[in-house]
Amino acid sequence: MCRWLTTAVLVFIAITGPASADEPPTATADAAAAWEYPGAENSTSSEVGPLYNSVRATTDDLARVAAHYEKKLGTRTALARPAAGAAEGGSGKQTAVSQDSLLPSVDGKRPQARDVTLLLASQHTKDSCLMLVISRAKGEKRTHIALTYISNRD
């Protein structure tokens, strides 16, 4: 029984083929690569059709990562204002940024900072839809970047 199961698994792998690092990147992966943070370590990435998703981490501080994406997005993340959020744009490009870095206000008191700073950004153009979640917890040595890129070209 075990020999039959092993043979069946090997035949299945031979037919379907394992994912290969030698496969050329798709147009979606190439376009999404332009949004990856330089030098960040890849924790996970996946792609299906026009959707690409990755999670990466870098030792660069949150302010440096936010500045990088502000430049790429063409907007401000308002990192110094934890309750900030805004949306802007016209017919060709719409961008939204916000933060979720405060605890809910209790009894009308000023909200307190969370143990994690969380920046959210999204951008929609005729070619793509991008979503970013950038976070760093207090005391943590790495900034995390979760990126979802959807190509509108397919």
Residue 53, in any domain of the structure = yes
Q: Which domain holds residue 66?
A: 26-103+112-151
> Residue 137 — left, alpha, or beta (φ > 0 → left; ψ -120 to 50 → alpha)?
beta
Query: With bands split at pLDDT 50, 70 and 90, how would you rate the model's confidence at 107?
Result: confident
Residue 72, in any domain of the structure = yes
- Spatial separation of the C-alpha atoms in residues 75 and 60, rounded to whole Å: 20
Query: Which contiguous run of DSSP H or E holds residue 69?
Result: helix 62-73
Residue 48, in any domain of the structure = yes
Q: Which residue has the higher pLDDT, 24 or 65?
A: 65
Residue 134, in any domain of the structure = yes
pTM for the model stands at 0.77
Residue 61, in any domain of the structure = yes
Residue 131, in any domain of the structure = yes
Residue 125, in any domain of the structure = yes
- Spatial separation of the C-alpha atoms in residues 7 and 75, rounded to whole Å: 56
Total number of domains constituting the chain: 1
- Report how far Cα 35 is from the mean position of its chain's Cα atoms: 9
Q: What percent of the chain has pLDDT over 70?
A: 81
Residue 98, in any domain of the structure = yes
pLDDT given at position 17: 40
